[in-house]
Chains A and B, each alone.
Chain A
Amino acid sequence: MALEDYLPDMERCSQCSYCKWIPFDQVKSWRFADGCPSIAYNNFLSYSARGRFAVALSLLNKQSTYTDRVVDIIYKCTTCGSCDVSDKICRYNLEPLEMIQELKIRAVEDGQVLPAHTAVIEHLKKENNMMMTPAVERGDWAKGLDVKIIPVEKAEVLFHAGCNYSYDKDLQATARTALTILKNAGVDVGIMGNEELCCGGRAYDTGYKEEFTRLAEKNIKAWKAAGVKTIVTPCADGYHTIMRLYPRLGVNFEVYHTVQYFDRLIKEGKIKLSKSVPMRVTYHDPCHLGRRGEPYIPWEGKEKKVKGQVIVYEPRKPRYNGAWGVYEPPRDILKSIPGIELVEMERIKEYAWCCGAGGGTREAYPDFSNWTATERIEEAKATGAEALVTACPWCERNFIDAVNSTGADIKVMDITDLIKQAI
């Protein structure tokens, strides 16, 4: 799809402003009613989905041109998809998230880029990771673990650690733990070590479609050559990319996030959680696992009208509105750990507040990104939880940084680490 393909959406957007808020049926307080971090932080209408529809239309109609402000509007979006959920409460056929992604892609094609992104993407091109570190160090996180290296050895399941878990020294232990849990549960699992590449998902969400495609094609080729059929990843971004974006390139791997796999193994009795972990925790739904983590349904078709002007699609078009994201497996895991008390935040599941790390905002707009994370920390603290638990290294990293910068009294943990404590 090109930006022009969203012209109907731009003209059909009635500017109702639902995109700014969580679904109104879910509003529980004044304090935690915002849905879109971008408009909540920047305030001008242009920073909401409705505003971005209008800005895109203005650019397409040549009523305005790129300015620093326009570039700011385009990129200062975490692509969390909150607008997409709220819009589809009343406007079934609008696709604000897809439009915003295309707007970023168009800006990149037009050379309207941010230096902070350019630096990361240039590095990505050379070293195949988002972490500004050498490719040859990618497999170091697994040093000392007795694990199969694909494709030298064959394994039923490929464990894809992702960029953040591979390189972030604070988080690597979680990846090691996840892999160890899988092995101990009897899963025939392997990794690609230094041969693992970035999935490309974050490049896509920042507007670098070409770079995404390059990485996706390389991964697909390598996985096919190695006979990989099943992939397990502890990274929500990676999960979303492999499940929702790779099929657009004509391939389908069976992909699971670790929370799904662990949940299954727990329910099958292959992971036994017997130790008590007395802790009051709250769970943050990562956008890419939650509302953006719905199963991919292939569709190719066209718009048609029935009853005069009712817009439908031929064939029936899937609607992604967060209804079928991965929400229960992490909660079931937490509930199965003895001693854990799960308390929910006000904004959860499909209407969860974003961590602030996505869409290239962590790289280009650290203040905005940090503010977004801090808002979530405040919400977590309001539950009285001792720990904010999540299932994505990007969320975890952003929350840790926010806690460090604000001195908030709350732990940030990956769900894997709680499982480890309970085994």
Chain B
Amino acid sequence: MVLKREIYKEFENIVGANNISDDEALLDSYRYPLMHTAIHLGPYYRVYTPRGEAVLLPGSAEEVQAIVKLCNKHKVRVKASSTFWSAWGYPMEDNTIQLDMRRMNRILEIDEKNMFAVVEPHVIGATLQAEAMKHGLNTHIHGPGASCSCLASATALNGLGPDTAYLGHHSENMIGAEWVMPDGEMVRVGSVGSGLGWFYSEGPGPSLKGLIRGMVGSMGSMGVFTKCAIKLHPWPGPAPFPTDGRPPAYKAVLPDNLKSYTLGFPDWEAWADSCYLIWEAGIGYVAHRQFNMFGRDLKGAMVRILSDPTKTLGDIVELLKDPEVQKMTEDMKRDYQIVLAGMTPRDIEWQEKVLDRILEKTGGWKVEGMLEPNLHDWSLLYMLRLGHKNLNLVYGGGYDGCFGIGGTPDFATTGEYPRVEQATDFKKEWEKKGNIVAAGGDGMMGGIGGMGGGGMTLWENFTHFDPHDKASTEGTYEFFNATSEYGKQKGWGPGMEKMNDYARWTDGRTTPKEIRNKILSAGGQPEALRYQRKFYETFNPNDLGDSYYRTLD
């Protein structure tokens, strides 16, 4: 489909001729390849999201508002995205225009005293962090990493990440938003809505935080967010990072109040106990099972490759034979990374002592290989900036997380045959078929603290494949189907590999209604989704969003 010329012209009048296009090839660069699984569905070999009718680059909230009003007038769907990290941000159906928010990229304010920043959609974690650090502050960077929009994760998703226990997740950090509603009206959420400035998302003023997010977020299907305020947190280090080294093995030699450790544990129970203890003590600036995304058997070798600019993936087989690497890999079998940040010399001294006591109590250890200065400085920068998050794609180009184990730390780790080991054994069998990377079954990666203060862990078992390879892509899909079936048999429920099946289907378009209803009914809190349906109908009267916003008839 092509927009009627007169409608195109009306859009052009809003954004200017340089900021709109319906060129076919250009539109094809706004389609997501679903052989990449698109977090979390598929992978579907050589299937793409539908081509939009046009791409627009709005430059202001007023332009966004005018566009959305015009969409309502002509009944054209609208999908906004800022950093386009996954299929969430792309059209679901024909008759959709794509808004690319990259021209709205300013940090409007950093309020040092009140510790927040006001940002536009295309501000990313890396730039906000760099600017915040100049004020002795830091921002939470959510799981997809420093490349992604802060606003998108704060307004349209939950935005969890490795530093969540200390720096919160972005839906907690959001203290106000400017929202162009699906009908084109604009509302400012929270205290800013009463003209009182950005300090609290629940008022005084319209408190719509729950409504705009729903259960997990609207993912671009309920209007367009044009600004938001994000709470910042203390940063007791230098600005900018004193980054050194050759690419990609950058590292940062930071002051002694900042330390990075990889902790290993003798069994999963000890692992879980340590999580409770660090939360209880309130230590840890970043805590995440990060490098395990490369897989239990390969992570030691991968850490060596990534921290040495002379090495490539081609060294992996040789490195796996290295006794030192083998020892480190074994030491890291049940592990996570933790960064300690002391606000004062006494604070770091105390945190170090507490960590040592926790390790003593649980029988855990600091993985010796990771204490080597080069690796320490590399790991510290990696964890603080999250500038390498897409290394999950390094092996073959594709990845997705399956199983998805969320809950208290011992939820997956206790018992005679812990759930994490069952999932590992299951995946290991599938790795033998050759369609996914043989990484040792356990690619469980995720946060040690899924909410501010800790309280839960959330893992997904990373699975790596080659999206260019039909057998690998289809084999991965089969594996994910089997994973879901296994989870069902075990009573674990559907895993993360099917998280977005309710919205987008195998052809890259909207999931058929009967399937969608079945999936959402089987999930948690169906009544909440029925309630969300009412929200959707009220706020999106012309149905110009899409099915990522979870609703149930």
Contact = CB atoms under 8 A, between A and B. Distances in A.
B444 interface: no
Lowest 9 A-B CB distances belong to which pairs? A24-B387, A12-B397, A58-B28, A64-B24, A28-B240, A64-B25, A54-B29, A51-B29, A69-B23
A316 B391 CA distance: 20
Contacts of A70: 23, 25-26
A307 interface: yes
A188 interface: no
B397 A33 contact: no
A13 B103 CA distance: 24
Contacts of A264: none
A43 B247 contact: no
A12 B468 contact: yes
Give the most central of B100, B395, B436: most A CB within 10 Å. B395
Interface stretch (A14-22, A134-142, A175-183, A270-278): A14-22
Interface string A43-69: 111100011101101110001110101
B299 to A, nearest CB: 13
B130 interface: yes
A280 B312 CA distance: 39
B477 to A, nearest CB: 14
23 contacts: A12-B396, A12-B468, A15-B33, A16-B147, A21-B147, A24-B126, A26-B250, A28-B240, A43-B57, A58-B29, A63-B24, A65-B25, A67-B25, A69-B21, A69-B25, A70-B25, A89-B248, A307-B438, A308-B434, A309-B396, A309-B435, A311-B466, A317-B312
Contacts of B247: 23, 85, 88-89, 321-323, 350-351
A189 B551 CA distance: 78
Interface in A9-42: 11-18, 21, 23-30, 33
A18 B390 contact: yes
Contacts of B28: 54-55, 57-58, 63-64
Interface string B354-387: 0000000000000000000000000001000111
Interface stretch (A90-98, A164-172, A333-341, A413-421): A90-98
Nearest to A318: B312
Given A58-B25, A69-B26, A307-B439, A11 B468 contact: yes
Interface residues of A, number: 64
Given A17-B85, A27-B127, A64-B25, A90 B313 contact: no
Interface in A382-417: none
Nearest to A324: B246
Given A24-B388, A307-B395, 19 more contacts: A15-B85, A27-B130, A30-B130, A43-B57, A45-B84, A55-B26, A58-B24, A63-B28, A69-B21, A88-B247, A89-B387, A90-B391, A92-B313, A309-B434, A309-B436, A311-B466, A312-B316, A321-B248, A323-B246
B29 A310 contact: no
B3 interface: no
B312 A17 contact: no
A25 B21 CA distance: 33
B414 interface: no
Contacts of A324: 246
Contacts of A13: 33, 397
A306 interface: yes
Contact of B25 (A46, A50, A88, A319): A46
A316 B312 contact: yes
B437 A309 contact: yes
Contacts of A33: 124, 126-127, 130
Interface in B110-127: 123-124, 126-127
A17 B100 CA distance: 13
Contacts of A93: 313, 397
Interface of A: 7-8, 11-18, 21, 23-30, 33, 43-46, 50-52, 54-55, 57-59, 63-65, 67, 69-70, 73, 85, 88-93, 305-313, 316-317, 319, 321-324, 350-351
Contacts of B131: 29-30
B46 to A, nearest CB: 8
Contact of B126 (A21, A57, A308, A316): A21
Contacts of B439: 307
A159 B19 CA distance: 47
A18 to B, nearest CB: 6
Contacts of A316: 312, 314-315
A311 B313 CA distance: 8
B203 interface: no
A11 B127 contact: no
Contacts of B55: 44-45
Interface in B303-322: 309, 312-317
Given A46-B29, A322-B247, A11 B467 contact: yes
A65 B24 CA distance: 8
A311 B396 CA distance: 6
B313 A23 contact: no
B243 interface: yes
Contacts of B309: 323
Nearest to A346: B240
B436 to A, nearest CB: 6
B127 A30 contact: yes
B107 interface: yes
A84 to B, nearest CB: 10
Contacts of B25: 46, 55, 58-59, 63-65, 67, 69-70, 73
A55 B248 contact: no
Contacts of B390: 14, 16, 18, 90-91
Contacts of A46: 25-26, 29
Contacts of B127: 27, 29-30, 33
A151 B241 CA distance: 53
B33 A11 contact: yes
A152 B26 CA distance: 55
Contacts of A54: 28-29, 31
Interface string B97-115: 0001011000100000000
A35 to B, nearest CB: 11
Contacts of A28: 130, 240-241
A8 B31 CA distance: 17
Give the most central of B57, B83, B313: most A CB within 10 Å. B313
Contacts of B386: 24
A16 B130 contact: no
Contacts of A322: 247
A50 B397 CA distance: 13
Contacts of B246: 323-324, 350
Contact of B84 (A17, A27, A69, A307): A17
B398 interface: yes
Contacts of B128: 30
B503 interface: no
Nearest to A85: B247
Give the most central of A45, A309, A312: most B CB within 10 Å. A309
B76 to A, nearest CB: 19
A79 to B, nearest CB: 18
Contacts of B30: 45
